[in-house]
Structure 1
Amino acid sequence: MSTQIVSTDAGDARITWHRAKQPRLVLAVSHGAGGGIEARDLKALAGVLPAHGVTVALVEQPWRVAGRKVAPAPKTLDTGWRGIWPAVAEPGLPVISGGRSAGARVACRTATELGAHAVLALSFPLHPPGKPEKSRADELLGAGVPTLVVQGANDTFGRPDEFPEGDYELVEVPYGDHGLAVPKRAEITQEQALEAVTAAVVKWSGPLG
């Protein structure tokens, strides 16, 4: 594991690299608006994917690096993501653009522009909680590259059955909420839920490179 500071037009971002010994792909993946790269699903992917030939670059947006509590506007998040892209593309491998929640929206909005090989959308916030009329489906549907959505069955930002038909794959995490946490009364453990996440990404990414 190694870290890298990258200057962007939105401030300094930080990349934490988890490198595969024989990499075939890079997964650049960022956090949401309410947390950082310590999110359970991001940590799980960084722990599992390198053994499958996928180097994982966990990206902290400039606002997190600066210690701010509140995420900036989507336009600023996109600016930060554009700024880190040369660093994640530098190894010369196909890059999967990924993120959880707000980070998933950024990945979808910028995928075609940046030449992303594919998009991984973890807990895509289809709409604000309780406001299904404020749909963000156009961002997901407009990604323009192979896309995998990993969504908790009980995500208040959009349950799997609320998602529209489209040219993407969707994997449901049983009992999972927006953070892909499962309640103690669930029929699966938290560890099993995260295994479902990593297994889905390993399977999906296999044919990509």
Structure 2
Amino acid sequence: MREVFQQELREVQERLVEIADLVAVSIDNATRAFSHSDVSLAETVIADDDKIDLAAAELDELAINILARQQPVARDLRIVVSALRISASLERMGDMSEHIAQLARYRFPDKVVPKSLRPIFTEMGQLDVEIARKLVELLKTEDVAIAEQIRNEDDRIDALHLSVFDKVLGETWKGQAVDTVDATLASRYHERFADHAVSIAKKVQYLATGDWVPVDA
């Protein structure tokens, strides 16, 4: 029975990695659709979000069944409970990717943000893609150094997020109301994507070390 239990725990980890892989592909496609006004790619992201949702729901069902049948304790219990919380964060990251793609679809054939903001969003997109890829590796290895890298890149995204607000609220901003709304929404989606990744990184760091990282650390 113990071997079966350990196999189930390994399956939980493998499924988390698979979902994180789907999320990494999703944010990569979403940022490219956003930057290049690629409606076909945007539609792909929107359609594929169902795959992320389904994979997360199946993982949750597996984790709940493990809790019911195996009644794990100590670290094993933390692994299963953390998997449920990580799954929820990954699902939300997929939603953020979908929202970014929806903006690209709605504004097609135009680009979502004015030219003056595009370099900022290009950088935010690149950082989110990098964070997503590092998250996959973190879930595979539980390497706490990767968790720290994710948190550092989140700080850069937060700074870019604030710079978007500085732009749209500044006296030189000449965008229309729809430009302001789209820019602030898109920036918020990128920022929230990274925040969920940091939340996951903290949970993995806790599992690896037993030390909980404070929310504001």
TM-score, normalised with respect to structure 2: 0.27
Q: Which has the larger radius of gyration?
A: 2
Query: Which structure has the highest strand share of the two?
Result: 1
Decide which structure has greater helix share: 2
